[in-house]
């Protein structure tokens, strides 16, 4: 049920990182196929960060641990900001071991001074935010050098997402409504806050729900590699991971 105060704060329902930090959500990426999808995401982000001199990272809504864990292993100083205490459960072991920090925060009004972190990342969040422009502005405000985020794009096979949503929900059970973006929409908001899009990478050409249903890492890898060689992932891949750099930085 949508709470009016929550809707006013900018979320389609409750803050989405509460759901994405849950055990139920983690099961969406369980098994070899799910691990492969997360590895694709991880590799792109690590490539975007390589040789940048970035050391401190704020992971906004990253209680799912999908990126906090590999970033910590790579030696980055990671702070995870979550909407509620429950968002810290998945990363609790890492925080207890001193690998990263977790802080409860209003994700649309981050409690950090301007340019507090070398980089800010934000995954599984923008698409569920009705005030997504405000969210991006906050990411830009607290980032000293770079913002890395993901979003599903209508410039992909997702253009039929509205028509196929019922079938997707029947297949996945716990899927949620989400917003599709044009690349120029995202780039325009970054530009308005002094950032330029420096890199953009699509993750998959085929819908993620298909890979989840196949449950076959080898077959999914083969299919996506074929699409990648044909240029389909580069042109129409989704979700997209974007890296924006502070202009003049």
Domain-wise residue ranges, the chain: 4-152+179-203+240-246
Calpha distance 78→153 (Å, rounded):
28
pLDDT in tens, the chain (249 residues): 233 344 446 665 688 999 999 999 999 899 999 999 999 999 999 999 999 999 999 999 999 999 999 999 999 999 999 999 999 999 999 999 999 999 999 999 999 999 999 999 999 999 989 899 999 999 999 999 999 999 999 887 765 444 444 444 444 445 556 889 999 999 999 999 999 999 999 999 988 888 888 889 999 999 999 999 999 988 889 999 999 999 986
Whole-prediction pTM: 0.87
Tokens of residue 87, six digits = 């968002």
The residue written with tokens 């990426």 in the block is 29
Q: Give the rounded distance of the alpha carbon of 216 from its chain centre.
A: 23
Q: What is the pLDDT at residue 207?
A: 87
Spell out the CATH class of 4-152+179-203+240-246. alpha beta
Q: What is the pLDDT at residue 175?
A: 53
Calpha distance 151→94 (Å, rounded):
26
Calpha distance 150→66 (Å, rounded):
13
- The helix, strand and coil proportions of the chain, stated in percent and rounded to the nearest 5, come to 45, 20, 30
**97 near 68, Cβ under 8 Å?**
no
40: alpha, beta or left, given left = phi > 0 and alpha = psi -120 to 50?
A: alpha
Task: Report the candidate in 217, 18, 241 with the shortest Cα–Cα distance to residue 121.
Answer: 241
The residue written with tokens 């080898």 in the block is 218
Q: What is the pLDDT at residue 6?
A: 44
């Amino acid at each position: 049920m949508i709470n009016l105060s929550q809707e006013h704060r900018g979320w389609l329902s409750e803050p989405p990182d509460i759901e994405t930090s849950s055990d139920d959500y983690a099961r969406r990426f369980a098994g070899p196929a799910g691990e492969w999808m997360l590895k694709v995401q991880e590799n792109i982000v690590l490539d975007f960060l390589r040789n940048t001199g970035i050391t401190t990272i704020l992971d906004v809504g990253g209680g799912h641990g999908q990126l906090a864990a590999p970033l910590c292993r790579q030696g980055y100083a990671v702070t995870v900001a979550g909407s509620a205490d429950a968002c810290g459960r998945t990363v609790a072991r890492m925080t207890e071991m001193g690998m990263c920090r977790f802080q409860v925060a209003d994700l649309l009004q981050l409690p950090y001074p301007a340019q507090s972190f070398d980089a800010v990342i934000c995954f599984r969040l923008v698409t569920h935010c009705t005030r997504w422009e405000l969210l991006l502005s906050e990411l830009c405000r607290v980032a000293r050098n770079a913002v890395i985020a993901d979003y599903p794009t209508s410039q992909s096979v997702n253009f039929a997402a509205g028509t196929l949503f019922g079938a997707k929900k029947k297949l996945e059970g716990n899927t949620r409504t989400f917003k599709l973006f044009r690349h120029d929409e995202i780039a325009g908001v970054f530009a308005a806050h002094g950032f330029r899009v420096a890199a953009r990478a699509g993750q998959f050409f085929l819908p993620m729900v298909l890979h989840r249903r196949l449950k076959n890492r080898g077959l999914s890898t083969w299919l996506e590699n074929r699409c990648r060689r044909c240029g389909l992932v580069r042109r129409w891949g989704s979700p997209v991971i974007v890296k924006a750099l502070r202009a003049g930085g």
